[in-house]
């Protein structure tokens, strides 16, 4: 209704104002003697300094995060190295304990190589430590000679015989142990079977006893329930007979309206004894309904009259609104014409100012010689 299409003009005015502001800022920068003489853009330099500071701050934060992560990695590496050293130390300790317990020198086959008395033990039996050393010319013992061969053979045969007997005894003992284990397992299996049979027998007897006891309990419970039902039926029959006798002898089935009146409140009735309304009560209700019907009809007529008045007021308001809209359209047209003339005047002023700038102010452009002279004087 009030739609005035001014969005395009508003945008154009905003764009013109923005260009005007940019032009003013540009003129201020160009006509500023300090900036023109020095020949630098302070805002650009400030922007560069700010960018460099932000970049340095980002690098410092990145280096700090990297240093924190490196410290964490160093701590983890130290922990791993310590754990590896502890594991190596424990392994070396176990190896040393094994060597001390299981790999003693006296238990090794090469123990004779480390025996300091090996040379004296290899001498003939008729020499002892008390004899003086006969010297190399006595020729008491020759290389390759085995004087204790018979003794060693007897000892080896005895050791072999002892080992053989021990193996036979071990085999016999293993057979005996295996037979005993088989016998014990058979006895255990038989005992378990007997125990399982006994338990199954006991379980069957217990199940039979439980079934018998449950049957007896069910029979007793059925008898008790039947007796209870019989007593309940007899009690219900007695109650029904008493109710029939009471209904037949009381005023409930009679047509006396005085029965339904309340004893302490005459305006109230007893619902379980009420026999209906009398003719006077029905006539009073119909009379009240007629009064209510007439009141409702009068109320309906008043509402109809009020609706008619509201409709007439709505029509008059709509007519006035149409007139106001017509006046508003005329005012908008006048405003559009005035706005167009004002925009045209602004455009002419801006064009004149631009012509003035181009023809008067911007005609004297500085040359390269001016800049060289200015730089020489500043030095």
pLDDT digits (tens, 9 = 90+) for 101-122: 877 766 665 555 555 565 555 5
234: confidence class by pLDDT, cuts 50, 70, 90: very high
pLDDT digit string (tens) for 290-336? 999 999 999 999 999 999 889 888 888 888 888 888 888 888 888 88
Instruction: Report the 3 state secondary structure along the chain.
Output: CCCCCCHHHHHHHHHHHHHHHHHHHHHHHHHCHHHHHHCCCHHHHHHHHHHHHHHHHHHHHHHHHHHHHHHHHHHHHHHHHHHHHHHHHHHHHHHHHHHHHHCCHHHCHHHHHHCCCHHHHCCCCCCCCCCCCCCCCCCCCCCCCCCCHHHHHHHHHHHHHHHHHHHHHHHHHHHHHHHHHHHHHHHHHHHHHHHHHHHHHHHHHHHHHHHHHHHHHHHHHHHHHHHHHHHHHHHHHHHHHHHHHHHHHCCCCCCCHHHHECCCCCCCECHHHCCCCCHHHHHHHHHHHHHHHHHHHHHHHHHHHHHHHHHHHHHHHHHHHHHHHHHHHHHHHHHHHHHHHHHHHHHHHHHHHHHHHHHHHCCCCCCHHHHHHHHHHHC
Say yes or no to pLDDT of 2 above 50. Answer: no
pLDDT digit string (tens) for 235-248? 999 988 888 887 77
Q: Return mean pLDDT, the chain.
A: 78
Percent of all residues in the chain with a pLDDT value above 70, rounded to a whole number: 78
pLDDT digit string (tens) for 271-281? 777 777 778 88
Q: Which residue has the higher pLDDT, 320 or 123?
A: 320
**How high is the pLDDT of residue 206?**
79
**How high is the pLDDT of residue 295?**
92
**How high is the pLDDT of residue 297?**
92
Say yes or no to pLDDT of 123 above 90. Answer: no
377: confidence class by pLDDT, cuts 50, 70, 90: low
**How high is the pLDDT of residue 296?**
92
The strand pairing partners of 269, in sequence order, are 261
Tokens of 191: 């005992």
pLDDT digit string (tens) for 196-207? 788 788 888 878
pLDDT digit string (tens) for 146-190? 667 788 788 888 888 888 888 888 888 888 888 887 887 788 778
What average pLDDT does the segment 213-233 reach?
A: 86
Q: Which residue has the higher pLDDT, 362 or 179?
A: 179
Q: Residue 139, by phi and psi: left (phi above 0), alpha (psi -120 to 50) or beta? A: left
pLDDT digit string (tens) for 49-89? 888 888 888 888 888 887 787 877 788 888 888 888 888 88
4: confidence class by pLDDT, cuts 50, 70, 90: very low
């Amino acid at each position: 209704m009030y739609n005035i299409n001014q969005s395009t003009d508003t945008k154009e005015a905003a764009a013109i104002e923005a260009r005007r502001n940019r032009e003013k800022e540009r003129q201020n920068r160009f006509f500023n003697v300090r900036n023109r003489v020095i020949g630098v853009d302070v805002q650009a330099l400030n922007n560069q300094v700010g960018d460099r500071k932000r970049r340095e701050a980002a690098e410092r934060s990145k280096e700090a995060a990297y240093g924190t992560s490196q410290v964490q990695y160093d701590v983890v590496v130290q922990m791993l190295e310590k754990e590896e050293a502890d594991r190596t130390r424990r392994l070396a300790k176990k190896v040393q304990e094994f060597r001390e317990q299981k790999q003693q020198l006296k238990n090794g086959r090469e123990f004779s190589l480390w025996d300091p008395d090996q040379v004296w033990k290899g001498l003939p039996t008729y020499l002892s430590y008390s004899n003086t050393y006969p010297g190399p010319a006595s020729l008491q013992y020759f290389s390759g000679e085995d004087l204790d061969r018979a003794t060693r053979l007897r000892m080896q045969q005895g050791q072999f015989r002892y080992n053989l007997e021990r193996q036979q005894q071990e085999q016999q003992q293993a057979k005996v142990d295996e037979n005993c284990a088989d016998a014990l397992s058979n006895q255990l299996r038989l005992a378990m079977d007997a125990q399982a049979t006994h338990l199954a027998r006991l379980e069957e007897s217990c199940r039979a006893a439980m079934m018998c006891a449950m049957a007896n309990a069910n029979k007793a419970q059925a008898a008790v329930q039947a007796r209870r039902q019989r007593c309940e039926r007899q009690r219900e029959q007695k109650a029904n007979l008493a109710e029939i006798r009471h209904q037949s002898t009381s005023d409930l089935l009679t047509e006396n309206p005085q029965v339904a009146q309340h004893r302490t409140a005459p305006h109230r009735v007893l619902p379980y004894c009420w026999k209906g309304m009398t003719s006077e009560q029905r006539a009073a209700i119909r009379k009240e309904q007629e009064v209510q019907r007439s009141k409702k009809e009068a109320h309906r007529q008043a509402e109809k009259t009020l609706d008619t008045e509201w409709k007439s007021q709505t029509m008059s308001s709509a007519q006035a609104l149409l007139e106001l809209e017509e006046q508003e359209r005329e005012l908008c047209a006048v405003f559009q014409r005035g706005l167009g003339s004002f925009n045209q005047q602004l455009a002419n002023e801006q064009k004149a100012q631009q012509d003035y700038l181009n023809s008067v102010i911007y005609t004297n452009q500085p040359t390269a010689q001016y800049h060289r002279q200015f730089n020489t004087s500043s030095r």
